[in-house]
Amino acid sequence: MHTKLVVIRIRGDLGVRKPVVDTMKMLRLYNKNYAVILDSTPSIVNMLINAKDYITWGELDKEALHLLLEKRARLPGNKQVTDSYVKEKLKISLKEFSDKIFENKAKLSDLPGMRLFFRLKPPVKGFEKGGIKKPFAQGGVLGYRTNKVNDLLKRML
């Protein structure tokens, strides 16, 4: 079973090499502060390593996934995904849908019309002191950050 990763784009497009821009488009990270939920497969991890100087990622937990779907999931026309919409389309609640996604029994694309990326706000109290140009291991923001990505994600909702 693959774990769920949440990937957040931290930096913009200026001065980025074409292969990295293409990788971020394939990951659906179109703009700064966009997030996507992905499975942890070898090909995905290699794409993340390719774009590591512009994104941060880590393992998603159940609570953060539920909050992300509840607050930031959108339908066309920027309409919010509500519990009643999920019940109408899938006959289950939003909480059950997020649990099924977490357990790999459902995909985000199972909900008709839902956007497969999430627009986030800049984090409350800003990014870490190291800034947005240093790796997480050196006190910055970028790159792999295990399950600490959930704290950043909650500050960006």
What pTM did the predictor assign?
0.91
What pLDDT is recorded for position 55? 93
Q: Are residues 56 and 66 in the same domain?
A: no
* 66-89 residues labelled b (16+ CB within 10 A) or e (exposed): bbbbbebbeeeeeeebeeebbeee
Q: Are residues 20 and 56 in the same domain?
A: yes
Tens digit of each residue's pLDDT (9 = 90 or more) over 9-45: 999 888 999 999 999 999 999 999 999 999 889 999 9
Domain that holds residue 151: 4-60+119-156
What pLDDT is recorded for position 16? 92
Q: Are residues 80 and 149 in the same domain?
A: no
Tens digit of each residue's pLDDT (9 = 90 or more) over 102-137: 888 888 888 888 999 999 999 888 887 878 889 988
Residue 1's pLDDT band, with cuts at 50, 70 and 90, is low
Q: Are residues 55 and 127 in the same domain?
A: yes
CB atoms within 10 A of CB 148: 14
Which domain CATH number covers 90? 1.10.15
Q: Are residues 48 and 8 in the same domain?
A: yes
- pLDDT (mean) for 89-111: 89
